[in-house]
């Protein structure tokens, strides 16, 4: 591990590795990524559902998502790695008048930014996915260029590209403290030595708040467990199948190989770093699954796991510099959207660090909004 770096990135998930890749691609030098685990992909990135969508409720998230989809579409050409990006679409189901009205507003904004999104009737939803019970569906939105990819493949592809451009990725390396000098970053101390640097980028996902505390910064980010379960082979719901989002209960499912992957938000879940799968919770998930797709009553389950969302007060990430410590940047708090927004986020953060501005204006996602009471909630959260 080098002892001097221009930029030290704390966190080797898809946000940290993506930021490193774009920093190097745009001409940055001497970039080091610190990953606490012995392998890449053991944290939140490797445990996520792999969803990639553009159907958000705020302009900045839509723009980041649209740029990210373009990158995923060209991923294999650029990085010589297959992300297994399947553009099966995202199908959002509205079952309450309030959600239906909100969805219509979102679609108007999305279309205004150039995104192709359809508003479907219940019958059109049934035609698209015959297995669904649509008795309570008021309308749905469908974007055919949305989809999902393999989180492990994406992460390894970005890491391969970053290393090829000279990025040093240090595994099994824990940042233990951040040294400051006259109000700015001067070094990062790890379990394997000290790295002098003038720029630190906190990309530590659920551990973002602890990294902030190393620099004396309070980052309002808390970890929450989210669980995923996968069925045994289930041909009764064949491909092509979009990512189906039953919005009110925050239940979703899609194909995963020959089986079905599904998950749901547990509103009663307290903040923790717990990543164990609760088979008791599976009972609640199955209840919602059968309500939405009755044929799923026949499914058996072969796997389940927990991962962590890092959640902010308004479900939007914190991106950009922290004003109290010069040279300290943050990219985290994605509230479940980090994987899908990672390419555009990495590029924007790299541009911000190198040039002081980014092509996609991410200033509205800075820490100031949370400190000044200007929160703008992302409504399209699962």
CA 168 from chain center: how many Å? 23
Quote the crossing angle between the two packed helices 338-355 and 151-164, to the nearest 10°.
20
Considering the domain architecture, whether residues 213 and 228 belong to the same structural domain is answered as no
Same domain, 298 and 172: no
**Claim to verify: residue 307 and residue 166 sit in the same structural domain:** no
Do 199 and 141 reside in the same domain of the chain?
A: no
Q: Is residue 2 part of a domain?
A: no
Are 232 and 125 part of one and the same domain?
Answer: yes
Asked if residue 71 belongs to a domain, the reply is no
3-state helix, strand and coil shares in percent for the chain, rounded to the nearest 5: 35, 25, 40
Give the global pTM: 0.96
Q: Identify the pLDDT of residue 354.
A: 98
Q: How many domains does the chain have?
A: 2
Token couple for 124: 């059109």
Question: Which CATH number goes with the domain that contains 103?
Answer: 3.30.9.10
d(CA 51, CA 42): 18
Per DSSP, the three-state class of 86 is strand
Q: Tell me, what's the pLDDT at 267? A: 87
Domain boundary (311, 334, 361) is at: 311
Say yes or no: 157 and 194 in one domain: yes
CATH value at residue 190: 3.50.50.60
* Residue 133 lies in domain: 87-145+223-311
Residue 146: phi and psi, rounded to 5, are -70, 170
- Position 244 in a domain: yes
The string of pLDDT tens digits covering residues 249-278 is: 999 999 999 999 999 999 889 999 999 999
* Measured distance CA(350)–CA(362) in Å, rounded: 12
Evaluate whether residue 256 is within a structural domain: yes
Is the domain of 336 the same as that of 296?
A: no
Mean pLDDT by runs of 10 across the 382 residues of the chain is: 96 98 98 97 95 97 98 97 97 98 98 98 98 98 98 98 98 98 97 98 97 97 97 96 97 97 93 93 96 97 95 97 97 97 98 97 96 90 88
Pair (257, 307) in one structural domain: yes
pLDDT at 338: 97
Q: Which residue among 260, 289, 311 closes a domain?
A: 311
Residue 324: the pLDDT is 95
Asked, for residue 324, whether it belongs to a domain, the answer is: yes
Which pLDDT score is estimated for 175? Answer: 98
Residue 105 shares a structural domain with residue 175: no
Structure confidence at residue 376 (pLDDT): 84
What does residue 338 show for φ and ψ, rounded to 5 degrees? Answer: -65, -45
- Residue that is last in its domain, among 278, 311, 344: 311
Q: What is the pLDDT of residue 323?
A: 95
Judge if 285 and 242 occupy the same domain: yes
Is the domain of 157 the same as that of 27? Answer: yes
Tens-digit pLDDT profile for residues 275-329 = 999 989 999 999 999 999 999 999 999 999 999 999 999 999 999 999 999 999 9
Residue at 346 is within a domain: yes
Q: Residue 350 half-sphere exposure, CB side, CA atoms within 13 Å?
A: 23
Residues 41, 165 within the same domain: yes
Q: Is residue 73 part of a domain?
A: no
User: Which burial class, exposed, middle or buried, applies to 38 when counting CB atoms under 10 A from its CB (0-12, 13-18, 19+)?
Assistant: exposed
* 79 assigned to some structural domain: no
Cα 77 from Cα 89, distance rounded (Å): 22
């Amino acid at each position: 591990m080098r002892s001097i770096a221009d930029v030290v990135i704390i966190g080797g998930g898809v946000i940290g590795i993506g930021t490193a890749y774009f920093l190097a691609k745009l001409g940055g030098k001497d970039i080091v990524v610190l990953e606490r685990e012995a392998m890449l992909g053991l944290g939140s990135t490797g445990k996520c559902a792999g969803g990639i969508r553009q159907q958000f409720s705020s302009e900045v998230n839509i723009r980041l998502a649209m740029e990210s989809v373009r990158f995923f579409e060209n991923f294999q050409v650029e990085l010589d790695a297959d992300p297994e990006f399947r553009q099966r679409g995202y199908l959002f189901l509205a079952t309450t008048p309030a959600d239906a009205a909100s969805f219509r507003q979102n679609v108007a904004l999305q279309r205004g930014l150039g995104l192709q999104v359809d508003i479907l009737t219940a019958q059109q939803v049934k035609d698209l996915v015959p297995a669904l019970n649509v008795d309570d569906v008021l309308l749905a939105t469908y974007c055919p260029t949305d989809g999902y990819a393999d989180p492990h493949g994406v992460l390894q592809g970005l890491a391969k590209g970053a290393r090829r451009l000279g990025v040093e990725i240090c595994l099994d390396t824990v940042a233990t403290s951040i040294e400051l000098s006259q109000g700015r970053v001067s070094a990062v101390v790890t379990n394997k030595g000290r790295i002098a640097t003038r720029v630190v980028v906190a990309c530590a996902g659920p551990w973002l708040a602890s990294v902030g505390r190393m620099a004396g910064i309070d980052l309002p980010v808390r970890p929450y467990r989210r669980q995923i379960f996968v069925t045994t082979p289930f041909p009764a719901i064949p491909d092509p199948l979009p990512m189906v989002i039953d919005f009110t209960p925050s239940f979703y499912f899609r194909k995963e190989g020959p089986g079905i992957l599904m998950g749901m938000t547990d509103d009663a879940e307290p903040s923790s770093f717990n990543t164990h799968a609760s088979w008791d919770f599976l009972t609640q998930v199955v209840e919602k699954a059968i309500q939405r797709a009755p044929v799923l009553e026949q499914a058996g389950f072969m796997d389940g796991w927990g991962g962590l969302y890092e959640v902010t007060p308004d479900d939007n990430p914190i991106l950009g510099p922290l004003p109290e410590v010069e040279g300290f940047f943050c990219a985290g708090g994605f509230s479940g959207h980090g994987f899908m927004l990672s390419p555009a986020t990495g590029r924007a953060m790299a541009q911000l660090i190198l040039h002081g501005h980014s092509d996609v204006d991410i200033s509205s996602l800075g820490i100031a909004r949370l400190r000044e009471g200007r929160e703008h909630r992302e409504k399209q959260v699962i």
